[in-house]
A = this chain, B = another copy of it.
Amino acid sequence: MTHPQARTNRRDSQRKIAEILDAARAEFFQNGFSAATIEAIAARAEVSKVTVYSWFKDKDNLFAQVVRQECDSMRRNFAVDNLEDRSLRAILLHAAKGMLDFLMREEMVRFERILAAEVSRDPKIGEYFLDNGPRTLLAALTRLLTMASEKGEIRVEDPLVSAEMFAGLVMGRLDLFLRYGQGVCLSAEDRQKRAERAVDAWLLIHQV
């Protein structure tokens, strides 16, 4: 966990570390933890195997760092949720569209595919994912809904329950078809339509 943190002034090293992480992500997401090999990662990063081991303790460590990096990108995405001066419906639509766009990315789908399998091996990694992904999103939604409820725009009994309903309506069972099928993808219009349907249904449930 602390290897690449050892301060390195060389810009070349930092570039190589990043390239190793990129290659590792590609290999892990394509083949899973067990089937991915350090040599393949090194080759993809155009780096020698020894270099990989000089920056990362072992395979587990490398995988953990890839997960950490990916989770950070998730958190960054879900954090943006500042309600502006726009209507509640517009804000919810924006959130729904954002969820769909982000979660339907091929990269995200592969990430979820692989990570699930590694939870039994290392449960902490699953918790890390939950904290930075679903929990961050639900917390942001909950805050938003609480505010709107206090303004009297909607009727919300339990904001967390309502937030989860929102996410459930937006994604539906789509994630299943993404994870277990292949090449499933919706056009931008389809995603827009789906978002609108979900938002309108949710608003209907929570109207004052």
* Chain A interface (Cβ < 8 Å from any Cβ of B): 30-32, 34-35, 110, 112-121, 123, 126-127, 129-130, 133-134, 138, 161, 164-165, 167-177, 179-182, 197-198, 201, 204-205
Known: A113-B117, A117-B117. A130 touches B180 (CB 8 A): yes
The one of B116, B133, B165 in contact with A112, judged by C-beta atoms closer than 8 angstroms, is: B116
Asked whether, in the complex, the Cβ of B168 is within 8 Å of the Cβ of A164, the reply is no
A116-B179, A165-B169, A205-B205 given; name 4 further pairs at CB < 8 Å: A34-B35, A115-B180, A119-B179, A168-B172
Residue pairs across A and B with Cβ atoms less than 8 A apart, 11 shown, are A34-B34, A114-B117, A130-B176, A133-B176, A164-B173, A167-B172, A168-B168, A169-B169, A171-B173, A175-B175, A205-B205
Closest to A113 in B: B116
A175 / chain B contacts, CB cutoff of 8 Å: 175
Asked whether, in the complex, the Cβ of A126 is within 8 Å of the Cβ of B181, the reply is yes
Closest to A172 in B: B168
The 8 closest A-B CB pairs, nearest first, are A34-B34, A117-B117, A168-B172, A126-B180, A164-B172, A168-B168, A113-B116, A201-B205
